[in-house]
Amino acid sequence: MDLFSFTRMVDMFFKYHKLFLSGIGMTLLLSLITVVISTIFGTMVALLRMSRIKLIRFIVTTYIEIFRSTPLMVQVMVIYFGAAAFGWKINISFIKDFNAFFWGLLVLVLNSSAYVSEIVRSGINAVDAGQTEAARSIGMSKGMAMRLVILPQAVRNILPALMNEFVAIIKETSIVSLCGISEIMFRAKDVIAISYRTLEPYVIAAILYFIIVFPLSKIVSQIERRLNASVTR
């Protein structure tokens, strides 16, 4: 039996295109929700890490280091199967397989937020300290100065890194197929089970990820070049 056939792969895609397209939809949905939540939560974590209260800094730093220092696959296995072991199920009657979706999404958000928090913190630290002093001198509180003066400037510095993190999220969604979430990799495994062919479905999955990620990577690079050009003017 031949190991790989390009013609068979094309035929397989058209035959099972609905499965693959539904996988693309789930991948994009997971990525979008993760981007939104991790941006908000990651920013909050970054601000908490800069707190003057040592206990808060310790807790937040521990969370960040754990999720940045362990593989995402291990995090999925521990949280998803750990929740199952304790009998923690989050079900919504009108949403199919919501429990798997919830725990998979939670892992992605916690993992991404740990990285986003460090990106945001580095951006805040890159803003000149004189900006805070100037804001405080005109009567702004520390929180107001951070919200109205520091964060807007930090966003400009960290935007390329944030966008690269979000592009990475799309690729990392493949890991949550372990939870049974029907994203691209899960659908590829469905096709393998139906067709008894292994390589072609995985190649199709790789091509689909490339089609999604490559244009986004180019857009991020273009934005980064424009930001760098505007800074040097």
CATH number at residue 99: 1.10.3720.10
1 within a domain of the structure (yes/no):
no
Alpha carbon distance 229, 224 (integer Å): 9
Task: Kindly report, residue by residue over 59-88, the tens digit of the pLDDT.
Answer: 999 999 999 999 999 999 999 889 888 888
DSSP H stretches of helix in the chain:
6-15, 17-49, 54-69, 72-85, 98-126, 129-137, 142-145, 151-172, 184-195, 199-232
* Residue 222 maps to a domain: yes
**44 in any annotated domain:** yes
Structural domain boundaries, residue 147: 6-232
Query: What global pTM score does this model have?
Result: 0.85
3-state secondary structure of 206: helix
Examine residue 224 and state whether it is found in any structural domain, yes or no. yes
Instruction: Report the number of distinct structural domains present in the chain.
Output: 1
Q: Decide if 97 contacts 89 (C-beta within 8 A).
A: no
Tens digits of residue pLDDT in 99-138: 888 999 999 999 999 999 999 888 888 777 676 677 777 7
